[in-house]
Structure 1
Amino acid sequence: MWGYLSLLPVLLAIWAIGGLWTVFSVAVANKSVNLTQGFPYISICGNQPPQSCIFSQVLNLGAALATWICILRYHQLRDWGVGKWPNRLILWTGLLSALGTSIVGNFQEKNLRAMHLTGAFFAFFVGTLYFWLQLLFLWRMKSVPRPGAPWIRPLRLGLCSICTILTVAMVVLHIWRMRSVSAALEWTVAMLLFVLFGLFAVDFSGLDGCTLRLRPRSGPLSTPPASPVPLQVSL
């Protein structure tokens, strides 16, 4: 039985992949991009309204879902015995990737190019690093659970390898001004990263839910004042 938490990664993958191709379709339909001049980058498709509005909404909600998934994964890895600092490193790379995705959606390439490229770096490069770190630390720990079929782990390794190779090739081809091929690689890497997020559904399949627990802070706690403290301002 799969709990509702296992549906979050699937929802993210479907939402992001479907949403980005919707942006592409709208951009082609209203002739904001011309396919006869070459295949466009994702950001080019999301530059002009109305598709820019869809673009922002898709990536903002996608970033929110990715953030929640990264937090759930952090707690799961902690329960599996992953060390405190490696687990925090994994968490922060995932959160930076989600932040980069939101930045890409809100700072269009034609308006704030530097900020847009910074977000793209976090989304693509740091996002790929997020999955590599998990493979590395889980590979070194032989006692952690292995949810899903035996081919899930090799699949993740293959997808991470492909993402790394294609990301480097994307940058090189962009520098060489082979923009159509570079753009096609960008689309491919983006789809593969969302597929990697979607595969977390396998790991979350044994989770029925999550519980928020509040613990008191260590050390002495200051006693709150019995009544509001008046603020005196000299005029």
Structure 2
Amino acid sequence: MLWFKQGLCVLPVFLVIWSSCTFIVAYLIALFRHDVDVVFPYISDTGANPPESCIFGLMTFVSACAGMATVYARYKFVEKLNEDTRVVRPCVNKVALWLGMMSCLGMCVVATFQETVVTDVHDAGALLFFISGVSYIALQSVISFSAYPYGSSLGVCWARTGVSGIAVLAFFPMVVCTFFVDQTKLHRDPEDEDYHFYLTSAVCEWVVAFSFICFFLTYIHDFKLFTLRVNLEYQM
């Protein structure tokens, strides 16, 4: 059997590839149309104007759905693992589930409300996405160590911790610097007063976003080990 057909590993594989394409395709289209600058635009800037806004919105929504499926599958895997080992508290697993779902909801808001049209709602969705997402991967790192050696290998546990640590370190300057940046401008000039805040915030945003992608990449081996089935009960 081909490796990507084993268990449910197709879920994180699809999520990683599709999310990467979402960021890159929107960026390349916006760059080709001169809607953004070459050097580190905000991710949302690449999906602010049509037609890239339509593509960005659709692809981000698909990523959010794939993210929800992956987060739920991970929750069920830990739940099943916990039936025999009792190494992870059920409440911790549920908190991780809800954090992951809220992060995906934030993605949907970001995809639906462009930053140049409905800025406040877009920013609220982005904040929900990043806060919940960073909290989710940090908590999953803790869960991975708690479940060891029944779940992931020690190397994978440390890889998740490293990725989540990078995301946490990049998250704080991203948020702080954002407050000093004019969010409605798509083109930046190095002479602008807020340029250095903008550049720091944009770089950190890309770092956090791709930290999420790298984190879900570590799920691939775990997802080879299990499948999910739906039981239908018909009542007359």
TM beyond 0.5: yes
Q: Which amino acid aligns with 1:145?
A: Y
Of residues 151, 164, 173, the one that matches 2:177 is 173
Give the match's secondary structure for 1:14: helix
1:8 aligns to 2:11 (yes or no): yes
Paired residue for 1:220?
none
1:17 aligns to 2:36 (yes or no): no
Instruction: Deviation per CA, 1:142-174: give whole Å up to 9, x if none.
Output: 5x51335x4211111011000001010112233
Distance 1:129 1:33, change over 3 A: same
Q: Which amino acid aligns with 1:101?
A: M
CA distance in 1, matches of 2:145, 2:157: 9
Greater gyration radius: 1
Instruction: Deviation per CA, 1:16-48: give whole Å up to 9, x if none.
Output: 11221110111011111133xx63111111100
* TM-score (norm. length: structure 1): 0.83
Matches for 1:69-80 after TM superposition, within 5 Å: 69-80=70-81
How many equivalent residue pairs? Answer: 213
Paired residue for 1:63?
64
State the percentage of identical aligned residues.
29
Query: Following superposition, which runs of at least 4 residues in structure 1 exceed 3 angstroms of deviation?
Result: none
1:194 aligns to 2:213 (yes or no): yes
- 2:144–2:151 contact (8 Å) kept in structure 1: no
Matches for 1:25-40 after TM superposition, within 5 Å: 25-35=28-38, 39-40=40-41
What is the aligned-residue RMSD (CA, Å)? 2.1
Paired residue for 1:206?
225
- 1:23–1:46 contact (8 Å) kept in structure 2: yes
Matches for 1:92-107 after TM superposition, within 5 Å: 92-107=98-113
Give the match's secondary structure for 2:224: helix
Distance 1:34 1:139, change over 3 A: closer
Q: Which amino acid aligns with 1:16?
A: S
Instruction: Deviation per CA, 1:98-150: give whole Å up to 9, x if none.
Output: 111111111111111121111111211110111111222343345x51335x4
Paired residue for 2:158?
154
CA distance in 1, matches of 2:27, 2:73: 31
- 2:145–2:157 contact (8 Å) kept in structure 1: no
Distance 1:158 1:28, change over 3 A: same
- 1:39–1:181 contact (8 Å) kept in structure 2: no
Give the match's secondary structure for 2:139: helix
Give the match's secondary structure for 1:127: helix
- 1:100–1:121 contact (8 Å) kept in structure 2: yes
CA distance in 1, matches of 2:151, 2:126: 32
Unaligned segments of structure 1, at least 5 residues: 217-222, 225-235
> 1:213 Cα shift?
2.4
Q: Which amino acid aligns with 1:174?
A: T
Q: Which amino acid aligns with 2:76?
A: H
Distance 1:137 1:199, change over 3 A: closer
Q: Which amino acid aligns with 2:225?
A: G
Unaligned segments of structure 2, at least 5 residues: 83-87, 181-193
Paired residue for 2:183?
none
- 1:173–1:181 contact (8 Å) kept in structure 2: yes
Q: Which amino acid aligns with 2:228?
A: C
> 1:215 Cα shift?
6.6
> 1:67 Cα shift?
0.5
Give the match's secondary structure for 2:205: helix
Q: Which amino acid aligns with 1:13?
A: V
Instruction: Deviation per CA, 1:169-213: give whole Å up to 9, x if none.
Output: 112233353102211211121011122122211211112x32112
